[in-house]
Structure 1
Amino acid sequence: MECLRIWLIGGTRDSAEVARGLVEAEIPCVVTVTTPAATRLYPQAPTLTVRVGKLTREQLFTFVVDESIGAVLDASHPFAVEISHGAIATAQQHHLPYLRLERPPITLEASDTEATVTEVPDLGTLLANGSLQGERVLLTLGYRSLGACRPWHQHITLFARILPSTTALTAAFAAGFTADRLIALRPPISPDLERALWQQWQITTVVSKASGQAGGEDTKRQVAAQLGIPLLIVARPQVAYPRQTDSVAEALTICQHWSQIFRSRSNNHPLE
């Protein structure tokens, strides 16, 4: 029987940490990422395979069979809900265990009130309420959110920070952003660079995601407090994860348990 493997849904620094732990423990793993650049996050090892490309719901069903997947560890970005929904459904269809590694959120601190840190339910609500009209707004939401902002360029002076990829740049230009209102940088970004960028563009409001420390949210909160600039945080989407943890160590312990079962099970015994 071919050795079963763990499907690690990656593309984040959290997933890279998990991947290193799986390699050290010699646990077979398939990592999926959506861009070639993300492959640099992961070590090269005989027990680890990295697959690049977006998987549809239909492809997921055959993917777990073709790749001999025995369990799913979802360490995708908190806002990558499409792949999480697909992975949960696929795991249920194949009777595979699923674990969500959800990076812990950043809680409101006393210093945040000085910068008027405010959580908003979604970008659409924020744009529709008119509160940003006339402001110089920096968006650090990822390129997928920029299309929704296209109609607002005439009301808001919009700037965006995106990843340095052709896909992100193409999407930003299609959303009406010009080169002088874009900067392409890959995190992590230091507080000094973050502060300098806001000052250079004379930003009056920043809109970001509740992406946690790994997504640089703590740095934005720090700089916002220092400069007295309002920081609007788009809340994470709500997903009904069957099982989740915010601990990499716990996730690796569960993976080790799965791996032990992989080694001892037979073709006719489903993984519990």
Structure 2
Amino acid sequence: MDSIFIFSGTTEGRELTTQLAERGYDCTVSVATEYGCEVMGMQEGVSVRTGRLNQEQMCMNFRQKNYLCVIDATHPFAGVVSAEIKRACEQEGLPYLRFCRPTEWESEEKAKGKPALSFDTAWEAATWLKEREGKILLTTGSKDLSLIAGVIADPSRLYVRVLPVVESLQACEKAGIP
């Protein structure tokens, strides 16, 4: 049976894994959080590992089986982890495939003829937002929440959407967001 290693977020990665498993592929799926593991569920031909990996840990995981390729189906804004996955694949000589949906705001803004803004880092985005007035709906998750809240310097401007897990709620508390 051919094996594929998949880094998954909570939506596209889960759907892709199901389709590959139904077609007879042995899938090893890496998710960052317990919530990711919950939404992945139990499927025949799918093994799930939970927890964030650094590049060295990724390489160690890649050596466990003879994988055909590695698929990066993480969140569209997970740029740091995507770069690490790509470097680990290069180091181990594995094909790297990026499975990424266009974000809704990119599609909507493009359709309206408005330019969409994109930032390479959370710090760059926070710096841009700091210079703007008003409330901010933040849907980037909890990982960079303290950094963003620190740059903005007024947590009352932030409305955050995070996964319903203890780690995320603790990040909100640490950043001063109720």
SS of the residue corresponding to residue 143 of structure 1 reads coil
Deviations 1:74-103 (A, max 9, x none): 111112223222221222222211111121
> What is the CA distance between 1:118 and its match in structure 2?
5.6
> What is the CA distance between 1:53 and its match in structure 2?
0.8
Q: What pairs up with 1:159-198 in 2 under 5 angstroms?
A: 159-178=159-178
Deviations 1:212-241 (A, max 9, x none): xxxxxxxxxxxxxxxxxxxxxxxxxxxxxx
Residue 142 of structure 2 corresponds to which residue in structure 1?
A: 143
SS of the residue corresponding to residue 37 of structure 2 reads helix
Residue 109 of structure 1 corresponds to which residue in structure 2?
A: 111
Residue 270 of structure 1 corresponds to which residue in structure 2?
A: none
Seq. identity, %:
28
Q: Return the TM-score normalized by structure 2.
A: 0.81
**Unaligned 5+ runs, structure 1:** 179-272
Partners of 2:163 and 2:62 in 1: CA distance: 29
Among 22, 25, 41, which residue is 1:24 paired with? 22
Cα pair distance change 1:48/1:120, threshold 3 Å: closer
How many residue pairs get matched?
A: 169
Residue 123 of structure 1 corresponds to which residue in structure 2?
A: 125
Residue 98 of structure 2 corresponds to which residue in structure 1?
A: 100
Partners of 1:7 and 1:53 in 2: CA distance: 15
**Structure possessing the higher radius of gyration over alpha carbons:** 1
The amino acid across from 1:33 in the alignment is: V
- 1:33 and 1:53 in contact (8 A); partners too: yes
- 2:6 and 2:27 in contact (8 A); partners too: yes
Cα pair distance change 1:155/1:101, threshold 3 Å: closer
> What is the CA distance between 1:22 and its match in structure 2?
1.1
**Unaligned 5+ runs, structure 2:** none
Q: Return the TM-score normalized by structure 1.
A: 0.55
Partners of 1:9 and 1:48 in 2: CA distance: 13
Cα pair distance change 1:84/1:21, threshold 3 Å: same
Cα pair distance change 1:8/1:155, threshold 3 Å: closer
Partners of 2:155 and 2:22 in 1: CA distance: 53
Partners of 2:126 and 2:98 in 1: CA distance: 27
Cα pair distance change 1:155/1:45, threshold 3 Å: closer
- 1:19 and 1:43 in contact (8 A); partners too: no
Cα pair distance change 1:9/1:151, threshold 3 Å: closer
Q: CA-atom RMSD, angstroms?
A: 2.4
Cα pair distance change 1:68/1:139, threshold 3 Å: same
Cα pair distance change 1:136/1:46, threshold 3 Å: closer
Cα pair distance change 1:140/1:82, threshold 3 Å: closer
> What is the CA distance between 1:54 and its match in structure 2?
0.9
- 2:2 and 2:25 in contact (8 A); partners too: no
> What is the CA distance between 1:159 and its match in structure 2?
2.4
Residue 252 of structure 1 corresponds to which residue in structure 2?
A: none
